[in-house]
């Protein structure tokens, strides 16, 4: 239904098993990656619901039923890739179910994220449904034979919430595409800008970067769109330092990465692919000291962390970053730890382990 990091990663998993059919609750055919043959895709009853593609978030209670409706009796191995419901599939005892977890459902297990997922009026109305989904999510988690987490951060949440161990296999960035520049775009580089690449939702706390940039009188380029854009625009007011770029072409993003002072990450990410893309281009990261960024960034070598999620703490980190003489080569080398080739090797290795001993 969307085109993001999780979808790109799934397309790579699908390419590792090109003859396997793909089951999903609902699909927007325009969003299917070009590397996936649409003929491989099997959809649930949700696909036949009128206007489902437009109101797919409102159909929240149906997703568990959609995934439970599939029949996997003829398969020896089923791999699910999920942030929410796909791990709830039902398989025979002799079938091995391996689930790659990109994220634990935030809107169920994080109250703050829940408030940003749906309006308060709707939250009050569907409160009992969310309570049921939370119980169902925990109960259905036991159906998985072998968990793979996209980071140690998520592995710890799997232990805490589902009481299950997980093997960590990191996602990848396109490190062959996101590379340091041979020649800088000096017109762009001369603007001495900082960069944010994210979906604009409240919990991401992009507002603290805007306030910090305005206070420091530095340029901030924001790539991405989302429901929080209108509020953030009001916050910017008449300032000429903050630039909303919206959704942009991949080539433009590459140029922005290559010439920025640093990528700023204001939120707790489960993994955070943008941090890897920036480092692959040889650029440092200024990140909130929590979540997946802790696993992708080496402090004082490839980036700087700030401890408190507010503009003062971020301003101090920006100041510290500006005084470091960053090594483009060292930053790029760290980014290469998260290549597509490394992911494919580690993922297939984990699948073999799961098939030999599906007890994790």
**How do residues 200-240 score in pLDDT, each as one tens digit?**
988 899 999 999 999 999 999 999 998 899 999 999 988 89
Q: Under DSSP, is residue 178 helix (H, G, I), strand (E, B) or coil?
A: coil
Looking at every residue in the chain, the average pLDDT score rounds to 91
| Fold type of domain 186-337 | Rossmann fold (3.40.50)
**357 vs 150, more confident:** 150
- Cα distances from 144 to residues 116, 162, 301, 336, in angstroms, run 29, 10, 38, 31
CA distance 29 to 36: 11
pLDDT of residue 139: 92
pLDDT of residue 6: 79
Determine the average pLDDT of the residues in 168-189: 93
pLDDT of residue 359: 58
Would you say 218 and 243 are in contact if contact means Cβ atoms under 8 Å apart?
no
Least confident of 32-46, 62-76, 121-135: 121-135
pLDDT of residue 170: 94
Tokens 């800088």: give the residue: 184
- Which pair of structure tokens corresponds to residue 309? 């999620």
Q: Is the pLDDT of residue 255 over 60?
A: yes
Within this chain, domains 5-172+340-356 and 186-337 share the same CATH topology: yes
CATH of 5-172+340-356, one of 3.30.310, 2.70.50, 3.30.70, 3.40.50: 3.40.50
Give tens-digit pLDDT for 113-158.
666 556 666 667 777 888 888 999 999 999 999 999 999 999 999 9
Determine the average pLDDT of the residues in 170-188: 92
pLDDT band at 358 (very low <50, low <70, confident <90, very high): low
- Which pair of structure tokens corresponds to residue 218? 């530095």
CA distance 55 to 329: 46
% the chain with pLDDT above 70: 96
| Annotated domain spans of the chain | 5-172+340-356, 186-337
Q: Is the pLDDT of residue 360 over 60?
A: no
pLDDT of residue 188: 92
């Amino acid at each position: 239904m969307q085109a993001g990091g999780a979808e790109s990663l799934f397309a790579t998993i699908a390419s590792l098993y090109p003859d396997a059919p793909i089951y999903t609750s609902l699909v927007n055919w325009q969003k299917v990656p070009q590397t996936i043959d649409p003929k491989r895709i099997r959809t649930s009853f949700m696909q036949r619901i009128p206007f489902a593609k437009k109101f797919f978030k409102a159909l929240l209670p149906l997703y568990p039923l959609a995934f439970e409706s599939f029949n996997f009796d003829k398969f020896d191995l089923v791999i699910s890739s999920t942030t929410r419901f796909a791990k709830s599939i039902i398989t025979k005892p002799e079938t091995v179910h391996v689930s790659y977890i990109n994220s634990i459902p935030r809107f169920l297990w994080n109250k703050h994220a829940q408030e940003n997922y749906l309006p308060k009026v709707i939250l009050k109305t569907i409160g009992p449904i969310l309570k049921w989904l939370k119980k169902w999510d925990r109960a259905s988690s036991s159906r998985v034979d072998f968990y793979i987490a996209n980071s140690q951060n998520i592995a710890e949440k799997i232990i805490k919430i589902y009481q299950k161990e997980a093997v960590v296999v990191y996602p990848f960035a396109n490190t062959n595409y996101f590379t340091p520049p041979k020649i800088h775009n000096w017109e762009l580089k001369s603007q001495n800008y900082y960069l944010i690449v994210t979906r604009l939702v409240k919990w991401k706390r992009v507002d603290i970067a805007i306030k910090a940039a305005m206070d420091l009188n530095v340029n901030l380029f924001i790539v991405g769109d989302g429901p929080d854009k209108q509020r953030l625009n009001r916050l910017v007011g008449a300032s000429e330092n903050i630039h909303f770029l919206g959704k942009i072409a991949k080539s433009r993003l590459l140029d922005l990465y290559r010439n920025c002072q640093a990528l700023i990450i204001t939120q707790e990410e489960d993994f955070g692919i943008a941090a890897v893309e920036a480092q692959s281009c040889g650029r440092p990261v200024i990140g909130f000291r929590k979540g997946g960024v802790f696993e992708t960034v080496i402090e004082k070598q490839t980036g700087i962390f700030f401890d408190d999620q507010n503009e003062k703490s971020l301003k101090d980190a920006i100041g510290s970053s500006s005084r470091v003489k960053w090594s483009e080569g060292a930053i790029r080398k760290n980014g290469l730890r998260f290549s597509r080739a490394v992911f494919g090797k580690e993922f297939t290795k984990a699948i073999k382990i799961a098939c030999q001993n599906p007890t994790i």
